[in-house]
Structure 1
Amino acid sequence: MKSSNKKSLSPFVVLPSALALALMSHQAVANESTSDAGYYGSLGFLSANVKAEGMENSLRPGIGSFVEGDDKDKANTYSLALGYDFGNNWRLEGEYTATQEVHFTSDSSTFAGSLNNHYADAQRVMFNVYRDMEIGAGFSAYATGGLGVAKIESSGWQGVPSRQYHNNTDTNLIYAVGVGVGYEPIKNVNFSLGYRYVDLGKVESGMNAFVNSRGLQDEQLRAHLYSSEYSLTARYSF
């Protein structure tokens, strides 16, 4: 019986070779997935439906019961953002949203028609994270969440404009969640349509600057603001 001259490969040779090939393959995929990483800037146009809840918590003692008024308003504004695309379908950005002015009203059962007019001017800075999902043919979808700070100035009047409340500014920690779709017609340029829900937090005016029937400064406008926003955004990658 003839002995074979073939030598089997030692596992100490095969395993390191296979591991090296696997690492090289993984590195190639990683390099490819991050090839589009880089900074970007964006400009967005926003149309917001803002709702004021909790206006029944406003201070207006001695005037009977609270009567609902107009607790919704619309506001248009713009946003600017600078972000970083990690090239793996994740993005992180800082965003500034310019002032949105909204107006709400409420009434009382005792002085019907003597409306409280509450004005709120809100601007904010947020840090947002995005998860992009490629669809194909240049189209994509995304989900987003963000945390930030809103500066909201409150003012108002009661009955007639001369009966003013003192102004007040609230600085609130806020959050947002949203979804949207994007389209990239050419490389590095992306247009997106999105929806975002933003909790702007609680706001309140200063106390009444006018003399009320009790001769006291014991009236104040209060609300909790929520914004449902639709956006059109153009993004350019550097």
Structure 2
Amino acid sequence: MVRRLTLSILAGLAPFAFSAAQAADYSPPPVYAPPPPVEEFAGGWYLRGDIGFSNQQVDSLWNTNYNNFSSVTNVDKSFDAAPTFGIGIGYNVNDWFRVDVTGEYRAKANFHGLDVGRLPDGSCMSGPPCYASDRYTASKSEWLFLLNGYVDLGTWANITPFIGAGIGTSRNTISNFGDFSTCNDSSNCAGSGGSDAYAGSASKWQFAWALYAGVGYKVTKNTTIEFAYRYVDLGNAQSGDIARFDGTNNYYNPTEFRHLTSHDLRLGVRMNFDAFDTRPAYYAPPPVYAPPPVYQPAPVYPPLHSKG
């Protein structure tokens, strides 16, 4: 009786043992883990183009004729706004620092100046005080070449604020210079430089430097639109030798423009060289799965019968 009971239990457990053995041999399909996302970095070289407007100032004017006056006051020394046009090539060193070299033509800005000078007492026939004024007109233009570095301060919604600085050189040109003098004592104006005069064009190379602040907006992976403010120090400039309209000139006396600066507003576009990359895009290979396991049917055993 005990033997029959034992054999019956073993026969009933046999299918479960076979299934367990089959399950032990089962290997789950491999799980494909996608590669981590590649951090986007628009590295490498880029081209840039910029347009803008200048807002220029000059600290002071100087002419050797000022020595004829006991005092001279610059009443007006202003420039009209003028367009600027620039191109450049640069390199993204990493995702926060970039450098570029730029060349820029700064178009002619009209200049308006007015000096009032007091002549020494006793130099006027009508008695003191005796004043003379000089009204100036001119045009100023530059070729500006800079090596610049920029620090990008982070990106939010494709907008990247940045700051920068640059050093280089500027070729400053003064042209169409005119000097129109008047005096409150006409009998003595000729002796103190009171007349109309002109000067030819003159150019001067000067050390230049600049500071930048702006924002860039990433339109596509390889194209960024940039809006920036720039402060630029252009050094000095001077006119040609000033002569009267009759061509006479007793000495060399150009007018000097001392310490020229400008507050510029600029709109630019940066185009990464990656835009011209013709290599095919890389895609991860599809995952490979193991075939599903094949299960064998459990054996069926006949019931055991006792001999007794």
Normalised by the length of structure 1, the TM-score is 0.77
Q: Which moved further from structure 2: 133-142 or 162-171?
A: 162-171
Does the aligned pair in 2 maintain the 1:124–1:151 contact within 8 Å? yes
- State whether structure 2 residue 164 is matched by structure 1 residue 159: no
Whole-Å separation in 2 of the counterparts to 1:119 and 1:219: 18
Residue of structure 2 in register with 1:121 after alignment: 141
Counterpart check, 1:100 vs 2:107: yes
**Count of residue correspondences:** 205
Match in the other structure for 2:191? none
Q: CA deviation at 1:35?
A: 4.5
Aligned equivalents of 1:205 and 1:39: distance in 2? 40
Note if 1:209 corresponds to 2:235: no
Which has the larger share of strand? 1
Equivalence for 1:234 = 269
- Alignment check: 8 A CA contact 2:72 2:115 kept: yes
Question: Matched residues in 2 for 1:95 and 1:70: separation?
Answer: 32
- 2:197 is aligned with 1:180: no
| Structure 1 CA distance for aligned equivalents of residues 84 and 140 of structure 2 | 14
Does the 8 Å CA contact 2:82/2:106 hold for their aligned counterparts? no
Residue 46 (structure 2) aligned to one of 10, 22, 40: 40
Residue 29 of structure 1 aligns with which residue?
A: none
* Distance change >3 Å, CA 70–CA 198, structure 1 → 2: same
Once the two structures are superposed, residues 15-47 of structure 1 have per-residue CA deviations (whole angstroms, 9 ceiling, x without a partner) of xxxxxxxxxxxxxxxxx6785311111111111
Q: Deviations over 1:58-79 (max 9, x none)?
A: 3324256323243222111211
Q: 5+ unaligned residues in a row in structure 1: which ranges?
A: 1-31
Runs of 5+ unmatched residues, structure 2 = 1-37, 118-130, 182-195, 274-308
Corresponding position: 1:84 with 2:96:
no
State the alpha-carbon separation in 2 of the partners of residues 183 and 90 from structure 1: 16
CA contact (8 A) 1:106 1:117 kept: no
Shift of 1:236: 0.9
**Higher Rg of the two aligned structures:** 2
RMSD: 2.6
Asked whether the 8 Å contact 1:33–1:87 carries over to 2, the reply is no
Aligned to 1:70, the other structure's residue is in SS state strand
Alignment deviations for residues 97-125 of structure 1 (CA, whole Å, 9 cap, x no partner)? 1133221312233333x412243221111
Contact 2:42 2:221 in 1 (8 A): no
For 1:93, give the aligned amino acid.
D
The percentage of aligned residue pairs carrying the same residue is 20
Deviations along 1:119-140, one digit per CA (max 9) or x if unpaired, are: 3221111111111122311011
Q: Conserved in 2, the CA contact under 8 Å of 1:118 and 1:221? A: no
